[in-house]
Amino acid sequence: MTATFQPRGFAPAADGTEVDAFLNATDGAPGEFNLAALGDVSVAAGRLRPGVRSAIHAHPVVTQLTYVIAGKLATRTQDAAYAPPREAIVAAGEALLTTPGTLLELRNDDAEDVRVLYIVTPSYVVERAGSRVIYEDAVLLDDWHGPLSAAVRAKAHTARAAALERLAMRTAKPTLA
């Protein structure tokens, strides 16, 4: 199969950035392509407007590669308990890799939009009931207290599995007996 994809439209994310999850087999969005061919990977376009600072957040289950397409992305990460957060500038053509539990903050300190591509494994999960989010793979945090604990990450794995099960039941096609 050969297919061409493009973002459908950006929407505000819980962390304050804008995201278009245009290639995500777990989101249950209808389409003409078999997104299951992606396996357990999702791809989303991201945009940070000038002056935008994301909330401090972590992904308890997923690994995220943030590839900068345009602009300069200021990042702050913390992946070791009691270590100070590390700051870096990720320029166009460069990427930032964050593993499960790492605390992350993204900033656009410039006058132009920063555009990124998020490549996430396993595939990013968001479960909604109408406009209400029931489960999401990101956890918003109030401050820098080190990476998420093993207990928090284990609870997130359980919640994610339940969300995936509910999503699968919603998108399952009825079978004739």
- Pairing between β-strand 103-107 and β-strand 72-78 as defined by DSSP bridges: antiparallel
- pLDDT digits over 37-62, tens only? 677 899 999 999 999 999 999 999 99
pLDDT value at position 128?
A: 87
Cβ proximity of 45 and 116 under 8 Å:
yes
- pLDDT digits over 108-151, tens only? 999 999 999 999 999 999 998 888 889 999 999 999 987 888 89
pLDDT value at position 8?
A: 80
pLDDT value at position 149?
A: 86
Assign residue 30 the CATH number of its domain: 2.60.120.10
- pLDDT digits over 68-87, tens only? 999 999 999 998 777 889 99
Q: Report yes or no on 37 lying in a domain.
A: yes
Q: Report yes or no on 1 lying in a domain.
A: no
Q: Report yes or no on 5 lying in a domain.
A: no
Q: How far is CA 81 from CA 44, 55, 144, 177, in A?
A: 29, 19, 10, 55
Could you list the residue range(s) of the whole structural domain that residue 147 is in?
Answer: 12-171
Q: Which of 31-35, 108-112, 169-173 has the lowest mean pLDDT?
A: 31-35
Q: Report yes or no on 7 lying in a domain.
A: no
Number of domains in the chain: 1
